[in-house]
Chains A and B, each alone.
Chain A
Amino acid sequence: MARALAGCAEIELHVATPSTVRHLLHELVRVAPQLIGAVIDESKECLVEPNIFLLDGRRAVGIDDAIDSGDRPCLLFLASGG
C-alpha cells in the first residue's frame, strides 16, 4: 500500500542513531507526505492500523522502540486474507 502511494519500493531516510521509531516516522512524514491519511495517521504520530514497522524481517516495533544503524525497517500493511 505504502509502496503504491509513494510510487517507489524503498525510501532513504536519514535519522541520527541511536534513535526511535518515532523519529523515523517523522522523517517519513517529511519525505513522503502522500502517506498521511492512508498509511500514517493524520496526527503524524502513529501509523494507521494495521500498518506496522517491521525490523529486519522479524521484529515488529512500537513507536518508542529504539532503532540503530544497520537496522532495516520495513513498512507493512498487515491485513491479510483472500
Chain B
Amino acid sequence: MTYRGPHAVLEINCTTGSALRYDLDDAIFRATLGGVGLAVFLLEGILARDGIAAPHDPLQASTPIVFAAGPFAATAVPAANKHAVATISPLTGLLTEGLSSSHWSASLRRCGLAAIVLTGAASEWSSIIVDGERVGFADARHLLGQSARETTKSLRSEWADRTLRVCAVGIAGEHGVLYAALENDGRQAGRGGAGAILASKRIKAIALRGRGSVTVADETRVAQLAQILRERSVGPRTAKYRVLGTGANMRVLARMGQLPTRNFTSAVFEGVERVTPERAREDPSGYVELRAGCSGCPVQCEHMYVRKGRDRRHAAASEYESMWAFGPNCGVDDLDAVLDAVDRCDRYGLDTISTGGAIAFGMECADRGLIDPNVFGVPLRFGEAAVLAPAIDAIAHRRGCGDLLADGVRSAALRLGGEAQSFAMHAKGLELPGYEPRALPTYALGIAVCTRGACHNRAATYDRDLRDPSGLLDESERAQRAIEGEDYAMVWDSLVLCKFVRDCFEDFYAEASELYAAVTGLRVDHESLLRSAQMTWETKRRINARMGWTQSDDRIPERMFEPIADGPLAGSRIDRSSLARMQEAYERARGRAASEVAPV
C-alpha cells in the first residue's frame, strides 16, 4: 500500500540560496514512522553525504538542521500537530532532537512536505519563506533584536498574511547562546540549542504558507479513532494538565522529598508553597490566569499567569520544569520573580531548564568563591530573587559573566577549573531537568545513556520510577525498563503524539498501529513499532559515534554519588557499581536487539 501524506523533503542550501525538492520512498516512512525517526534518518544521511564527523564545531555552516513533521499533523487526530527538529547540539557536540507543535507543524505538511533540511549559511541575516512549492529568501536584518513573537508579527505584516506560520530565533540565538531555543506559535523546541544552529546559518525565521490539503487513507476510520481519543483527552486521565498544568508536579515532588533544590544540594525546598503555580491560581485577586495550548489539542495544558495590572503579553507559562529551574533550583521563593524569569527566557528565546541550571551553577560558584558574587550588580546567591532578571539579560546578550554561563555549565566549569566540575549538573553537556536521580535509579540510568544528554523525555524513566517508587528491581530489570521507556518514547516522538495524552490509550501499541494505518495506509503492528524504535535508537547512536561519542561519555554528575542531604529520602544516592551494572545490562540488551533488526 502507498503511504498517504506528503512524501517530499525540501533541502535548502542557505549558502547558495538554492532549494532541492525530492520524494522519499514509502519504505522510509514505514521504517521511521515520521517525526523524530524521520528527522534522525535524514540527518544521518546528510552527515554521511557531506562528510561531517568529529572533530566538528556544530556552529560551522555545514551542520545540517532537519525539521520533520509528525505523520498525524494536519489531520483530525488530536494532540498530534507536531514536528521534530534534529541537528548537532552546540551544547553537547552530539545529536539533539526536539519537538515542537501547533500550526507550524500542520503548515509544514500543508506545504506538501514531510521535512525541511537546511545546510550552509547565508551571507546576511535572512528569513526563508516557503509558500507551497515556492521557496524564497528575504532580508531579515531589520528583524534583529526582535523576539520570535515580534518576528512573527513583523513577517505577517510585511507579507500581509495573518495566517503565515513562523518558526524563529530570538535575541539569545542571535548572540549565539548555546542553549538558544526555536519558537513557533508560542511553542518551543527548547533543549540542546537548535536555535543557536539556525542562527549560526544567519536564518532568523522560517515562515510557512501552507494551504494545501492533507489526505488520509481511511477518512471514516480516522474520524472515529480521533473522536475516541478526543473524548478520552478531556477525561480524568488528563485532568491534571487541564486543571492545574504540569506545574502541579512541584507539590507532588516536594511531598515525596525529591524536589531538586539549590543546584541539587538539597531535596527539600522550604519555600515551595510560595512558588507553585497553584499559589497564583489560588490568588485570583493577585494574578490573572490565561490558558493556551497547541492547535488541534483538546487538553490545552498551558496555564499562564501574570500579575494583575501587568501587560498580559508578559504572562508566563507555568510549566513544571521552568518553574522548578528558577524556583527551587535557584532557591528562589518569589513567585513574581520566577514568572518574570520564565517570561524573559521566552522573549529572548532561551531554554528555561538550561538557563536556570546555569544560574544555579553560577550561584554555587559564587558561594564557593569561584565567581565574583556581585557580577550582575545584585548578589549572585541562592534565594536571591532579584538576580534572576539581570543574570538572564546578561546571558541572552552574552554580557560579562553572562558570556561564561551562555556556554552551559559543562563549558563554564571547564573554564573555571578546580572543583567546579564536581557540581556542574549536566549529562553530556545538557543541564539536568527537575527530577532527582538519586531517588529514581532507572531515571539515573536513562539520563546516563540518553543520546541527547540529560533529557527527562527521551526515556521517561522518571515516570516509571515515580509510578512504582517502592519497586525493588535488580539492575537487569531496570535496564530493561529503561529500554522499554526509550522505545515507547521513540514511538511517541516519531508518530508524533503529545505525551500528555499517554494515559488516554488503553493498549497504546495496538491503538497507535490502527491509527497509523488509518492515516497513512501503511500497516504496522506492536512488533514493527518496536523495531522502528530500535532502528531509530541505532541511528541516534551512530550519529553520536560519528560526532565522537564513546561509552565513557555516558555519565551522570558526581553529585549523584553523594547522599541526598535531607528529607524523607536522606541518605539515598546512586551506587557507582550498581549504575555500571545497569549500563552493562542496558548495552547487552540493546546489542542483542540490534543484531535482530535489519537496516533500512
Contacts and interface: CB of A to CB of B under 8 A. Distances in A.
Interface of A: 1, 3-4, 37-39, 48-50, 52, 54, 56-61, 74, 76-82
6 contacts: A48-B236, A60-B467, A60-B468, A77-B252, A79-B241, A81-B499
A58 B256 CA distance: 6
B236 A38 contact: yes
Contact of B249 (A37, A38, A82): A82
A82 B243 contact: no
B232 to A, nearest CB: 12
Contacts of B503: 49-50, 79
Interface residues of B, number: 40
A58 B468 CA distance: 10
Contacts of B569: 57-58
A81 B457 contact: yes
Contact of A1 (B243, B320, B457): B243
Contact of A82 (B236, B237, B247, B460): B247
B256 A50 contact: no
- A37, A56, A80 interface centre (most CB from chain B within 10 Å): A80
B470 interface: yes
A79 B240 contact: yes
B462 A80 contact: yes
B389 interface: no
Contacts, number: 89
Interface in B198-251: 236-237, 239-241, 243-249, 251
A75 to B, nearest CB: 10
A21 B537 CA distance: 41
A81 B320 contact: yes
A1 B239 contact: yes
Contact of A48 (B237, B252, B460, B469): B237
A80 B256 contact: no
Contact of A81 (B278, B470, B500, B568): B500
Contacts of B241: 79
A38 B239 CA distance: 7
B244 A4 contact: yes
Interface string B337-372: 000000000000000000000000000000000000
Given A76-B256, A82-B320, A50 B469 contact: no
B97 interface: no
A37 B244 CA distance: 16
A82 B256 contact: no
Given A1-B243, A4-B243, A79-B240, A58 B321 contact: no
B457 A58 contact: no
A49 B236 CA distance: 9
Contact of A80 (B278, B463, B469, B470): B463
B274 interface: no
A39 B239 CA distance: 9
Contacts of B236: 37-39, 48
Interface in B479-521: 499-500, 502-503
Contacts of A39: 236
A63 B225 CA distance: 33
A65 to B, nearest CB: 10
B255 A54 contact: yes
B5 interface: no
A58 B257 contact: yes
Interface centre among B239, B321, B460 (most CB of A within 10 A): B239
B319 interface: yes
Nearest to A80: B249
A5 to B, nearest CB: 8
Contacts of B248: 1, 77
A58 B240 contact: no
Given A78-B252, A78-B463, 5 more contacts: A54-B255, A76-B256, A77-B252, A80-B466, A82-B301
Contacts of A48: 236-237
Contacts of A1: 239-240, 243-244, 248
Contacts of A79: 237, 240-241, 463, 500, 502-503
Contacts of B567: 57
Contacts of A78: 252, 463, 466-467
A49 B468 CA distance: 12
A51 to B, nearest CB: 9
